[in-house]
Structure 1
Amino acid sequence: MIRKLFKSILFLLAVSVTMSANAQTKAAQDLDPKQQAIIRIAALTGKGSLEQLKEELKAGLEAGLTVNQIKEVIVHVYAYAGFPRSIRGLQTFMTVLDERKSRGVNDVMGNEASPIKNDCSKYDRGKAILDTLLDTPQRGPQTGYSAFAPVIEIFLKEHLFADIFERDVLTYKERELVTVSVLAAIGGVEPMLQSHLKICMNVGLTADQLQQYVGIIKTSIGKKEANSAQSVLNGVLKSK
């Protein structure tokens, strides 16, 4: 009888340990609270939903994002949704910080962007970053819109991928989460969303994490936008 009881206890302990290990593994594979906050903040800034953004900015700070990280998220948004959305997002963040300060909450500022110590031209630096994100070097003559309007290809390399992506306040993974969140929120840019979802996987985001991202878009922006993002993601995953 005692032997049977002992075996039962050992079995229950083994099951408990296995369940705990599985739960920890799943948690490690999920988007962390900071990444989830980045998605919501970027999407709502791009959409212009300022009242909802206000609450998510508070949640982002509580999740551990620094003031400078959140500012960087909102600044990054302008590359995809324009200055008006980005500036309104920054103004909303200023209000949130002022309200918190008046209640005695002193939020962590965090690191500023490191100085750039690279003698290469901005174009070459931007191209190198894009090559890293795409996981393949870009060679050969320009095609498509780059050939049709070469100046925009220069702007993309020098400004988006050098001036913005080169700033180390956010990681490439975090910047790609910002990018796909804005693109999903504004809609109508599915080819760009497809490209950046592929980049998300290149920089280490998993299929499960990107499914979670779609779920966050659904709850924070809407079903229509989430369905569109899901359709694009399905195509990306199918091509892998």
Structure 2
Amino acid sequence: MSITEASKRYHERMFPGYKSKFLETDPEFIERFDNFAFDEVVNSDDLDDRTRMMAILATLVGSQSVDEFQAMVPAALNFSVTPVEVKEIVYQAVAYLGIGRVFPFLHAVNDILEQRGVALPLEPQATTTTENRLEAGEQAMVDIMGESMRGFAGSGPEESRHINRWLTDNCFGDYYTRGGLDYRQREMITFCFLSAQGGCEPQLTSHAVNNMMVGNDKAFLIKIISQCLPFIGYPRSLNALRCVNEAADEVGNVA
């Protein structure tokens, strides 16, 4: 078996001293996967380790990969992703996946942090109240998407207008306004949630546009897709790439 030295070094940084049982049961598979994911892919661009790990965690939540998520959270913490950042990734996922799909990940994070001696609950990150979350959510939408989002909560057909309000006060007012992650990071993880779960290509294109609006350009998003590809496979990665290309055309036309 010939796992590359670069792959071995990266694996050791993620999981110091850990030897996978798959080295004994599935050595040929591990050789190819580790050499691809932890050498060829991680060395394909200049994305920093913290951003890579945050994107991978969000992708694993989006793809409902709780076992791999549990394995990768310690690696993310070893790469200086903070407990607050991990929690914020999980919290924000509720707006894009629903609590039914995020519940197991919340348990997983709490178990891992407690095992590592991290006191829970973590320091509060909320910046809004029940009274101002709508206003703050609208401002977050304006900050990210522009003045056209002003008044979005009251727009649309009367029978579905409440959903636009919820998008404003709940999705943006409750989550995007929190501390721990900035707008660029929040739009990046949203992109990962959507690309990983599939079937959300219209929203994925819209959030690719949002990413570009806050400074996560096309080249950056392609790096994110590339680094997450080993964890979600080619079909959803290629769909994400198509959405990024469509978003870049849209942003270019607007500009």
TM range (shorter): 0.7 to 0.9
- 1:149 aligned residue (142, 160, 170): 160
1:58 aligns with 2:82: no
Cα distance, 1:111 vs. partner? Answer: 5.0
**Conserved 8 A contact 1:41-1:57:** yes
Structure 2, unaligned stretches of length 5 or more?
Answer: 1-42
Q: 1:119 to 1:43 in 2, by over 3 A?
A: closer
- 8 Å CA contact 2:53–2:79 kept in 1: the answer is yes
| CA spacing shift, 1:168–1:98, aligned 2, 3 Å | closer
147 and 133 in structure 1: CA distance in 2 versus 1, 3 angstrom threshold: farther
Partner Cα distance (1:53, 1:69) in 2: 14
Measure, in 1, the Cα distance between the counterparts of 2:191 and 2:150: 25
2:125 corresponds to: 113
How many Å apart are 1:31 and its aligned residue? 3.3
What is the Cα deviation at residue 61 of structure 1? 0.4
Tell me how far apart the structure 2 counterparts of residues 39 and 54 of structure 1 sit (CA, whole Å).
Answer: 15
CA distance in 2, matches of 1:111, 1:32: 26
Q: What displacement does 1:136 show?
A: 3.1
Task: Give the superposed CA RMSD.
Answer: 2.7
| Alignment check: 8 A CA contact 1:68 1:169 kept | yes
What letter matches 1:223 in structure 2? Y
Q: Which consecutive aligned stretches of 4+ in structure 1 deviate over 3 angstroms post-superposition? A: 98-101, 106-112, 118-121
1:74 matches 2:55: no
Q: 1:213 to 1:107 in 2, by over 3 A?
A: farther
SS in 2 for 1:80: helix
Distance 1:119 1:184 in 2: 31
Q: Counterpart in 1 of 2:4? A: none
Rounded to whole Å, the distance in 1 between the matches of 2:108 and 2:158 is 39
| Partner amino acid, structure 2, of 1:142 | S
Mapped to 1, the partners of 2:158 and 2:243 lie a distance apart of 26
Deviates more, 1:230-239 or 1:159-168: 230-239
The normalised TM-score by structure 1 is 0.77
108, 114, 121: which one aligns with 1:92: 108
Query: 1:225-236 to 2 correspondence within 5 Å?
Result: 225-236=236-247
Equivalent AA in structure 2 for residue 70 of structure 1:
V
Query: Partner of 2:20 in structure 1?
Result: none
Task: Tell me by how many angstroms 1:235 deviates.
Answer: 1.1
Amino acid in the other structure paired with 1:215: S
Question: Displacement, 1:112?
Answer: 3.2
Q: Give me the whole-angstrom Cα distance separating, in 1, the residues matched to 2:93 and 2:217.
A: 23
Identical counterparts, % of pairs: 24
1:136 aligns with 2:147: yes
Alignment check: 8 A CA contact 2:127 2:177 kept: no
Equivalence for 1:125: 136
Tell me the secondary structure at the aligned position of residue 149 of structure 1: helix
Q: Deviations over 1:103-160 (max 9, x none)?
A: xxx69997531544x89732222111101110333357834xx655111011111111
Indicate the residue corresponding to 1:33 in structure 2.
49
Question: Is the Cα–Cα contact under 8 Å of residues 34 and 60 in structure 1 kept in the other structure?
Answer: yes
Alpha-carbon offset, residue 184 of structure 1: 0.5
Which residue in the other structure is 2:192 paired with?
181
> Which of 61, 83, 86 does residue 45 from structure 1 map onto?
61
Q: Which amino acid aligns with 2:66?
A: L
**Bigger Cα displacement from structure 2, 29-38 vs 178-187:** 29-38
1:35-91 deviation per Cα after TM superposition (whole angstroms, max 9, x unaligned): 211111111112211111112211110111111210111111111111122211111
> Structure 1 stretches of 5 or more lacking a match?
1-26
2:55 and 2:188 in contact (8 A); partners too = yes
